[in-house]
Amino acid sequence: MSNSDGKKKALQDTTRLQTSAQSDDIGKANNESMTEQWYQDTVEAVLHRVDSTPVGLATDEAQFRLAKNGPNALRETKGISPLSIFLRQFQSLLVWILIAAGIVSGFVGDTVDTVAIFAIVALNAIMGFYQEWTAERSIAALKKMTAPQAKVARGGTIVMIPAIEIVSGDVVHLEAGDIVPADARLLSLASLKCMESALTGESEPTTKTLDVPQENELPIGDRNNLVFMGTQVAAGAGQAVVVATGMQTELGQIAELLQQAEPRKSTALQLQLDTLGRVLIIATVAIIALLFVVGLQRGVPSLELFMSSISLAVAAVPEGLPTVVTVALSLGVHRMARRRALVRKLSAVETLGATSVICTDKTGTLTAGEMTVKTLYVASKEYQVTGQGYATDGQVQLEGRTVSIQSDAGLRQLSSVLVGCNSAHLVQKKNLWQAVGDPTELALLIAGMKAGLSQAQLELDAPKHAELPFDSDRKRSSVLRSMPDGLLRSFTNGAPGGLLQRSSKMYRPDGNVDLTDELRASILGATSIMASQALRVLGSAYRDLPNNTLDDLDSGELDPQSIERDMVFVGLAGMYDPPRPEAMDALSRCRDAGIRVIMITGDHPETAVAIAKELKLDSQVAAVTGAELDRMSDTELTDRSKSISVYARVTAKNKLRIVRELQRGGEVVAMTGDGVNDAPAIQGADIGIAMGKAGTEVTKQAADIIITDDNFATIVAAIEEGRGIYENIRKTLQYLLAGNTSELLLMLTCVVIGLPAPLMPIHLLWINLVTDGLPALCLATDNNHSDSMKRGPRNAAEKLTNASFVWSMLITGVLTAGVTLVVFVYTLRISDIEHARASAFTVLVFAELMRALGARSSHQPIWKIIPIVNWYLVVVIGASIAMQVASLQIPMLGSFLKTPSTTPESCLVLFAVGCIPMLVLEMTKMLLPSKQASSNEATGA
């Protein structure tokens, strides 16, 4: 190696060491991207911090940084396997009790019981697995939002590279349609707009600027000199230097939050069913121990005691309960799907019923998600525009009467500017009109069409010559058109203040007039009134241009400043994202149901408050911003969160904090959203709800429920279904346990007083699986809960089997066991043990079946709920009664159930006796105060 070569290599090594140290600084800066305010530095300072230049990095330097700092990618979490989902179905203690009962039955040679029990366990697992198979996805869905390729400046040339290879300091080139590959600070731009709704929740594109703001701690949506990874370039072009990559980007910070969000705990129903399983184990062991003690004292053989113990164990365990719960949740899922709510996890259905707070996004959920012109102002007259969104079936009204461009010259002139200076359009696809273009321009276009102006006809009559696109400095856009009379006219839409400054005339139908200070004040006053109503206001103006303008156009020297001056100011258009018509009713239903609704949005506080007031979200509406939230201590937020109904300009971290504070206050929180910034809060809430249309993939994967129509009313409908499903599970559980209680009391009483066992194991299994199980399935699908949204949410801490539940269960068990015991003792005296057992078995079956009719309501007697017929239950009861009678008449079926033949008259008598418990219970309902009963049902009693 020559001496000069050695010096050169030493110099390169020294440079590399300096670059390495600078890269360490860059990495530290990146790790603090949520707090380091890149938007406040000058371009020169940003370039210095990332050690870059306006023309980008050298190729070898970029490769060195990539090797040192890693790829521009998001970390993934390991997805859950199908086997794990299947094994998760066996977590319930009740399932393991069934498995143990099946093993014991097989050990003593009772094949029928063993097969039946294991079939139930398998069915329960298969149904749960089927519902949850597609439920688990990892955070890898975020990768779908990252750009696969990006244009960067490397070594003095523009090259296309995989986005994963981008490093801090790279200068990326952006144009319309690109997905931003990393967080970057803008160096130059031309009419650049980015869709950032996934991060901010705002429905309109953000206009980018090079200006350095003076404010501190700006929310993401106001950092207009930055572009963010995963957002899309809506219009224009720009160059930006990368300041953060991978997990250090705003998108990466959200991914980190999502990974750190606490996994949801088991639901109240899951926990209470496990508690019930433990109680059943303790009760069964205690009863069997008592049986052995009493039996041994009476000299009963050990083998007979063991077989009796097996019978009692079968009687104590409600074999059909796990399947009934799974079926109730599964069928509830299908009903909710018909109401446009797709459930990804069965447990979420039950939790919905306990929801006490809904944290909802504004745009597209409470509102239509489509900008709509509400008010027009021209020639000192104010017009109201009806209709919503991008449908053209509305009208323009003046003082309550419908007007159009044919009858109103002022409206015609304003409409010509709204439509003439417009790049949006409607496309017909399969007999449906689809809106294409910027949301603001679409709103203006639809307003002009409602007034009667045809965009297609305007294009024919006044063809476009040139366009001056909107930019953040001018805050306006213009289109030049050739008018039918041969004149060249510019149509301009933009900020009213700027238009007034560059206008010298004001339009009047009877002739334009000079724009005096008085007229300017009047127009600004109208603008202020619209703005106070949270309307976004745009002004419209035109100018007839001199003939030599076309020469400038041909030479490419068209200057906005020379075109947009001495204009004729025409009027104003006030627009907003209107509330959904059904959202008002849905909020009213929430109030009746005791559910508090909180609006959490990335939009401006004024807009959020105006929509909240229009929807009557709360009696006193005031918004707290994300910046104010950051300054609050946890204690202050806990105290104030009870009265705050609107949060605006919030970040993903803010949303997660709000959810956690509400949960700490004892609320069961449902969180809705569509953007990536909503995903951590959705993951951390008790119920996560994603929007199916506007929702990002990562948000859907974090959610329990997906709303396919992005409608708040659907969320409320899903909660109603959740309440009904919980009620169904509760009354079904009470029906099953009351039946098991009657069997236990009957068996235990006979053993204690020295009578033979009144029921055989096959009888008990038949009752639990067929006589109780099938009606229980029908009760689980009952629709007798029309008043579920007229009372407050149940307390999530309320026990499923509270004192009222147990009391009702014991009364029912004593009644049924008492009637059956009387029949058994009576028949035993006049006949043999086989007929006595058959009579007891039949009476118990009839009593259980008839009681199922009244189990549909805890406070309404049968004759009051007959109009709401559960035909499945009626058919099952009828078929079960017929099958029971057949077992007493057909020898082959009788041999299987061990029931000897009985006369039809005896069957009729047994049926009449079996109706006694149901009649007594229904009479008791009439004596209970209805208010107390309703209260009991509301709290789960």
Query: What are the strands, taking DSSP E only, across 196-250?
Result: 206-207, 226-227, 232-244
Residues 6+ apart with CB under 8 A from 54: 47, 171, 187, 239, 241
Contact 772, 850 (CB under 8 A): no
CA distance 407 to 398: 11
Phi, psi of 204 (to 5 degrees): -100, 150
CA distance 597 to 343: 21
Could you tell me whether strands 341-343 and 687-691 are parallel, antiparallel, or unpaired per DSSP bridges? Answer: unpaired
Q: Is 211 known to be catalytic?
A: no
Contact 824, 758 (CB under 8 A): yes
CA distance 412 to 393: 18
Phi, psi of 582 (to 5 degrees): -80, -10
- From the candidates 113, 183, 361, 782, which is the catalytic residue? 361
DSSP assignment of 607-634: HHHHHHHHTT--SS--EEEHHHHHHS-H
Could you tell me whether strands 357-360 and 596-600 are parallel, antiparallel, or unpaired per DSSP bridges? Answer: parallel
CA distance 329 to 323: 10
Q: What is the dihedral of CA 673, 679, 685, 688, to 10 degrees?
A: 50
Residue the block writes with tokens 């050739």: 482
Closest to 696 measured CA to CA, from 680, 681, 711, 676: 676
Give how far Cα 805 sits from Cα of 62, 168, 283, 477, Å: 70, 64, 17, 69
CA distance 505 to 507: 7
Residues 6+ apart with CB under 8 A from 552: 558, 559, 562
CA distance 713 to 749: 54
Contact 759, 841 (CB under 8 A): yes
Structure tokens at 427: 């496309």
Contact 898, 763 (CB under 8 A): yes
Neighbours of 32 (CB within 10 A): 12
Give how far Cα 114 sits from Cα of 121, 125, 245, 776, Å: 11, 17, 59, 21
The SS3 of residue 514 is: strand
The SS3 of residue 396 is: strand
* Positive or negative torsion for Cα 295, 300, 305, 311: negative
Contact 514, 464 (CB under 8 A): no
CA distance 814 to 804: 15
Amino acid occupying residue 563: I
CA distance 656 to 678: 8
Structure tokens at 812: 């029912």
Residues 6+ apart with CB under 8 A from 4: none
The SS3 of residue 492 is: strand
Which helix (H) or strand (E) segment is 688 a member of? strand 687-691
The β-bridge partners of 242 are 184
Contact 446, 438 (CB under 8 A): no
Query: What are the strands, taking DSSP E only, across 109-200?
Result: 149-154, 157-162, 171-175, 183-195
Closest to 568 measured CA to CA, from 590, 591, 545: 545
CA distance 385 to 372: 9
Catalytic residues: 361
